[in-house]
Chain A
C-alpha cells in the first residue's frame, strides 16, 4: 500500500463519552456504522459470483441497505470517507462476525442470519425507546426485517434441502457461532437491555435452526482472548487484507476528490 496521507489528520478513535454535534454518542455510532460498512463490503464481494441471478439482485439489495445505514451513522461522527478509508485496522469498531470472509453461500447466509436477527432486535429497541438513534433505527428496522427474512428463508432451504446443503449449512452455523457472543457486549452510549436482547436472539435462532432440521451449535460464543475483540479494535487476520483492498485507491491519492 502506498504512503498514508500527510496533509490530513488521520482520524483517531473517539473516546467513549464523547458526543457528536448532534448529541449522538460517537462510540456507539461508530460501532454500529462499522458493522454495517464492513458487512456491506463483504456482501459486495459477491457481485458476479452468486449461485443464481436472482440472488445477485437480493444480495446487492442487502449490501446497499447496509451501506446506506453505514453512511448515515458514520456521518454522525465525522466525514464518512475519512472514517472509512483513512482509519487503521485497530480503529475499526465492528464486530468480528461481520468481517468474516464470505466462504461458501452457507457461510454468507449464516453470518447474515446471526447478524440480522441481532440487528433487528437491537434497532427495534432503539426505535421504540427513543434516544439519539431512534430516527435512523426506525427506518433501518424495516430494511433489516427483510434481511432477516431473506436469511431465514435460505436457512430453511439449505438446512432442509439436500444432504450436501444440510452439511454445509450446519458447518457454517457451527463455524460462526463463536463470533456471536460479541453482539451482546455493552457498547458505550448504546442504551439497550442486552440480557433481554440476547435471550430473544437465542430464542429466535434456536427456533429457526430447529425448523430447518439443524442443530443449534453448543460451543463457546466468545473467544478466550481476554484482550477483547472487534469492539476493542482487535480483529481477525483477514480483516487487514479486506481493508487494504478497500482503502488502497483512496489512500493512493491523498486529498483527492472522487
Chain B
C-alpha cells in the first residue's frame, strides 16, 4: 500500500444559470485550487449544469455548531413581522 498523502478536500459551489446564486453541489479532492476548479468542472457540470464554479478548501469553512442552534436561529423565530404573511391586507388588493 502506498503512503501517499491524500489531496485536500474542496467544497464546490455551482451557479446553474445567470441570475441565480452559487449553491453547494458537493465536494471533491484536488491538490490545489486550479485543479480543484477543473475537477469540479468535469464532475459537477458534465451535463451543462453550470455557468460558474467556486471551490473553497473544506477546512476554510467555519460552520455554526448545532449546539449553538438556539442562540443562532431562535431569536428570528419570534420576529414574524419580518415575513410578509404577518400583515393582513383586505381581499382584492393586488400587487402587494
Contacts and interface: CB of A to CB of B under 8 A. Distances in A.
Interface of A: 52, 54, 57-58, 61, 149-150, 153, 157
Nearest to B40: A54
21 contacts: A52-B7, A52-B29, A54-B29, A54-B30, A54-B39, A54-B42, A54-B43, A57-B39, A57-B42, A57-B43, A57-B46, A58-B38, A58-B42, A61-B46, A149-B38, A150-B38, A153-B34, A153-B35, A153-B38, A157-B31, A157-B35
Contacts of A153: 34-35, 38
A145 B30 CA distance: 21
Contacts of A54: 28-30, 39, 42-43
Contacts of A157: 31, 35
B8 to A, nearest CB: 12
Contacts of B46: 57, 61
Interface residues of B, number: 12
Nearest to A51: B4
A227 B48 CA distance: 46
Nearest to B36: A54
Interface of A is mostly: helix
Interface in B1-58: 7, 28-31, 34-35, 38-39, 42-43, 46
Nearest to A149: B38
A153 B30 CA distance: 12
Contacts of B34: 153
Contacts of B31: 157
What 7 A-B pairs are tightest by C-beta distance, nearest first? A54-B39, A57-B42, A58-B42, A61-B42, A57-B43, A54-B28, A153-B34
Q: Of residues A52, A61, A150, A157, which shows the largest number of chain B Cβ atoms within 10 Å of its Cβ? A: A52
A256 to B, nearest CB: 31
